[in-house]
A = this chain, B = another copy of it.
Amino acid sequence: MARLAGVSRATVSYVLNNTSAVRISEPTRRRVREAAKELGYVPHAAARSLRAGHSRMVLMPAPDFPVGPLYSRFLDELQWALGRLDYTVVQYGAVGVRGDEAARAWAELRPVAVLVPGSDLGTKGVTVLKRSGARAVVTLASESVEGAHALLLDHEAVGHCAGAHLYARGRRRIGVVVPEESGLESFSAPRLAGVRRALRGTDATVVELPLAYEESAAARLAARWRELGLDAVFAYNDEYAMLLMRALQDEDIDIPGHTAVIGADDLMLGRLLRPRLSTVHVELPSGRDLAELVDRAVRNPGAATETHTVLGASMVHRESS
């Protein structure tokens, strides 16, 4: 490239690295840039971040649970909002690596910020990330971690909303679906706890219903529905609710006459069912607010960590409850 531009190799390096310590004339700079373009030169992000001490990379571990439409939309908005602030989101898909061990793998990429949804990251992991140059670590989970900013996802509130609604509709024997698919415990456990809290001290009882996302599993549960003596079910989310409601209808169980069924997430499909599905509308954190939190933290890494409780829950009452 130096030959093509007719300058020294040092000059090429100065120009492409945007070194301001050395004075180089504008025509020379232009010549080097044109030569670089002609040769298809691409700067090395690694080398650049080694020099600058940090990157514009915001790392997120790829989720290890089945991603629903709600999370997809949140991620889209977040990528867009961080993109506008000149960050690039990178989803890191290491398999079978968890917690602080995962943090070491992420740290190798030297991200400027790390967003950890539903994680088991500990204080040690946060320290590893910060030592490696991450200026901000933000967790999205039920509990905060020392040293990290926290968006506290209040899944308990989702369950509480469901439990309170069913009680108010006169239901007293309330089933709560707990998915058997792995990776969903961190959502399902607080939802169940929320239902229990809503019904504590009342005459209502709660029955835990493990369920795999399969037609045959739903059919087996529906077959023993009358024995269970339930008059309502909070089915974890709209997709499980659709599955279970179909199985109950196939057993000629009237909904909501015999059993009220409610989901969560407020997906389109709930409105397409008959009876129309009642659901807990879940408001995920805004991608834009989260992007701004990241940017604030990157600019001022020494500031105190922020904690925000997010995940609004509100009941959407339709026909199934």
Which one of A1-9, A39-47, A189-197 is at the interface? A39-47
**Given known A66-B72, A109-B45, A272-B242, contact A93–B94 (CB-CB < 8 A):** no
Residue of B nearest to A273 (CB): B246
Residue of B nearest to A271 (CB): B215
B92 touches A90 (CB 8 A): yes
Residues of chain B within 8 A (CB-CB) of A110 are 44-46
Residues of chain B within 8 A (CB-CB) of A69 are 66
A80-111 interface (Cβ within 8 A of B): 80, 83-84, 88-96, 104-105, 107-110
A104 touches B67 (CB 8 A): no
Which one of A21-29, A124-132, A139-147, A223-231 is at the interface? A124-132
A108 touches B43 (CB 8 A): yes
Residues of chain B within 8 A (CB-CB) of A184 are none
B272 touches A42 (CB 8 A): no
Q: What is the minimal beta-carbon distance from A216 to any residue of chain B, in angstroms?
A: 11
Instruction: Tell me which of B45, B215, B242 contacts A108 (CB under 8 A).
Output: B45
**Given known A62-B91, A89-B62, A93-B88, contact A104–B42 (CB-CB < 8 A):** yes
Q: Chain A interface mostly helix, strand, loop or mixed?
A: helix
A107-138 interface (Cβ within 8 A of B): 107-110, 127-128, 131-132
- Chain A 243-268, CB-CB to B under 8 Å as 1, else 0, gives 10010000000000000000000001
**Given known A72-B67, A128-B40, contact A94–B104 (CB-CB < 8 A):** no
Say yes or no for A49: interface residue by CB 8 A criterion.
Answer: yes
Residues of chain B within 8 A (CB-CB) of A72 are 66-67
Residues of chain B within 8 A (CB-CB) of A105 are 88
Residues of chain B within 8 A (CB-CB) of A44 are 50, 108, 110, 132
Residues of chain B within 8 A (CB-CB) of A45 are 46, 108-110
B215 touches A268 (CB 8 A): yes
Residues of chain B within 8 A (CB-CB) of A67 are 67, 72
Q: What is the minimal beta-carbon distance from A169 to any residue of chain B, in angstroms?
A: 24
Tell me, in angstroms, the Cα distance from A66 to B89 when the chains sit together. Answer: 17
B62 touches A79 (CB 8 A): yes
16 chain-A/chain-B pairs, Cβ below 8 angstroms: A42-B108, A45-B46, A46-B47, A46-B49, A47-B50, A48-B108, A62-B89, A79-B93, A83-B96, A88-B92, A89-B93, A90-B91, A91-B93, A215-B272, A243-B268, A243-B272
Q: A213-B268, A215-B268 are in contact. List 19 more A-B contacts (CB 8 A).
A: A40-B127, A40-B131, A42-B107, A42-B128, A42-B132, A45-B46, A46-B109, A47-B50, A50-B50, A62-B89, A66-B69, A67-B72, A75-B93, A80-B95, A84-B95, A88-B93, A88-B105, A215-B272, A242-B272
